[in-house]
Amino acid sequence: MTFPFTKYEVDRANYSPDLDAILATEQRRQGGVWRLLHRSFWGVLAIALLIASARTAKVDLLQFWQRIPTVGEWLSRLFPPDFSELLIFFEAIWETLAIAIVGTGCAILVAVPLALLVARNITPVQSLATPLRGLLNLLRGIDTAIFALFFVSIVGLGPFAGALGVAFHTTGSMAKLYAEVLESLPSEPIEAVEATGSDRLRTFAFAVLPEALPGLIGISLYLWEFNVRSSVILGIVGAGGIGYELLVSLKLLDFPRLCTILLLILAMVSLIDALSAYFRQRLN
């Protein structure tokens, strides 16, 4: 007695085109469960981190809700603003702007050579790039207010300490951003100028600078705009400017005076934002 079909023929007869699709669906389902568990783990970890952070920060929504009437009372006492010390406030506003201008200007002067040294595609000394990048990370990692506090203890209270704080922090940020602009430049124009026998200075002047200049100016304007806002805070740590007047008004609970200062800060920041956006748009 013989079977009518071999094993291969039986398997082939039982084969269904849908079997592969079923197997693929099952594999996707198992993979989907694994992916779901994987994502759930990170989701649970994120929620646990958020809860632990809220406990450390002593978040108390009930206390906040109970204090809302106080906030409303303070807001109602802001008006009408007191303009009797307007000239003093204008002088303090100019001092804040001067801190940002001097700090940003000094940072530009130092950041340009530093960026040329750390940009991997054009640095003349590769061995210096890594330690200088560490220095820039250190400067960027320390906030402007911390630098200002440090310099207040060295040069005393006043805008000079604020300008130094702005200059040191901005140098780290600006040199890093400048270096990223330089590293993104196409290599062909640089190689073409180098092929003519030009030295590094001429290569920088005729190939690097024309290509990078719009990006460098845009970064400088953006950081200057940022420094104007951060210079307001510097008055609170003793570095002068409108921030000091703001702190005095808060301590005295002089709300009409505080309202005038807030309106002036709003006008200054809005004007600086508009000017910076206008110049960046012209560059583009």
pLDDT tens for 145-202 read 899 989 988 998 889 999 999 999 999 999 999 999 998 888 887 778 778 877 777 8
* Torsion sign (Cα): 165, 168, 172, 177: positive
Is the per-residue pLDDT at 264 higher than 80? yes
Q: Helix 126-141 crosses helix 86-118 at what angle (to 10 degrees)?
A: 150
Determine the Cα–Cα distance for residues 99 and 61; give it in Å rounded to an integer: 38
Mean pLDDT value across residues 116-130: 85
pLDDT in tens, 98-107: 999 999 999 9
Q: What is the overall mean pLDDT for the chain?
A: 84
Mean pLDDT value across residues 30-37: 68
Determine the Cα–Cα distance for residues 127 and 121; give it in Å rounded to an integer: 13
At 236 the pLDDT is 81
pTM flag (> 0.85): no
- Position 91: which residue type? E
24-to-18, 21, 63, 118 alpha-carbon distances in Å: 10, 5, 55, 51
At 18 the pLDDT is 67
- Residue 228 token pair: 């104007």
- Tell me which residue of 236, 253, 275, 256 sits closest to 96, measured CA to CA: 236
Is the per-residue pLDDT at 2 higher than 60? no
Query: Which tops the pLDDT comparison, 31 or 61?
Result: 61
Lowest-pLDDT choice from 35-39, 86-90, 167-171, 247-251: 35-39
At 204 the pLDDT is 79
Using a pLDDT cut of 70, give the percent of the chain over it: 89
Determine the Cα–Cα distance for residues 154 and 239; give it in Å rounded to an integer: 12
Domains of the chain: residue spans and CATH: 99-230 (1.10.3720.10)
**Pair 280, 214: CB distance under 8 Å:** no
Number of residues that this document lists for the chain = 284
At 9 the pLDDT is 54
| Residue 211 CA neighbour count, 13 Å, CB half | 16
Is the per-residue pLDDT at 33 higher than 70? no
At 13 the pLDDT is 52
Determine the Cα–Cα distance for residues 40 and 32; give it in Å rounded to an integer: 12
SS3 state at 82: coil
Residues 6+ apart with CB under 8 A from 207: 189, 190, 192, 193, 194
Read off φ and ψ for residue 240, nearest 5 degrees.
80, -170
- Residue 205 token pair: 């002047």
Query: Which tops the pLDDT comparison, 28 or 61?
Result: 61
